[in-house]
Amino acid sequence: MASYSLSTPINTALLVYILYLLQRILLPRTSVPAKPSVQFKSSYSWMPKAHAPTLLYTVYTPKTLLKYDGVDPAGAGRILLAIAGTVFDVTAGRNFYGPGGMYGNFAGRDASRGMAKQSFDLEMLTPVEEPLDKLEDLAPDEIENMNGWIEHFSGKYIVCGRLVENDAA
């Protein structure tokens, strides 16, 4: 049978480490250091240089939504689109929804039918002078697809309004 003693350096080191841990547990350090451990340059600031413009929840009509296509100067460069009556600010996705983007034809418009049918064709868009598309002829899987887009957009973009008929606003 082997005998254990403090004569080996490994045993001595382990005993010292265990005693150190016990001291840290039983007598925790309560004083606060006088100086911070990280020094920041005097120019450092957590404040942004400029704040993002404030977005107000607004009621839009197809005609008023049209100017937010990313091209019209009256829209101040913002890009909005609507799905099933909910208006999203998709300006952060300018590469997708802005001019020349893959979904660019949905900018400033009601994209409900196009998103439901997974079609980017212009005939998916209701003319702005006509009443809103009621989407009554969509198949259940198309409605589910559209709801998936709403869920995706709700998690990624800001909901900034709702879309109503032209004469309702």
Question: Which residues, including other chains, have CB under 8 Å from residue 46's CB and lie 6 or more apart?
Answer: none
Region of residue 84 (phi > 0: left; psi between -120 and 50: alpha; otherwise: beta)? left
Domains in the chain: boundaries:
58-163
Residue 40: exposed, middle, or buried by beta-carbon count in 10 A (0-12, 13-18, 19+)?
exposed
User: What phi and psi, each to the nearest 5 degrees, are found at residue 89?
Assistant: -90, 105
How much is the average pLDDT of 63-67? 95
> pLDDT at position 33, please?
58
Instruction: Kindly report, residue by residue over 111-158, the tens digit of the pLDDT.
Output: 999 999 999 898 999 999 999 999 999 999 999 999 999 999 999 999
Instruction: Kindly report, residue by residue over 24-34, the tens digit of the pLDDT.
Output: 888 877 666 56
Q: What is the CATH number of domain 58-163?
A: 3.10.120.10
Whether the per-residue pLDDT at 36 is higher than 60: the answer is no
> pLDDT at position 12, please?
87
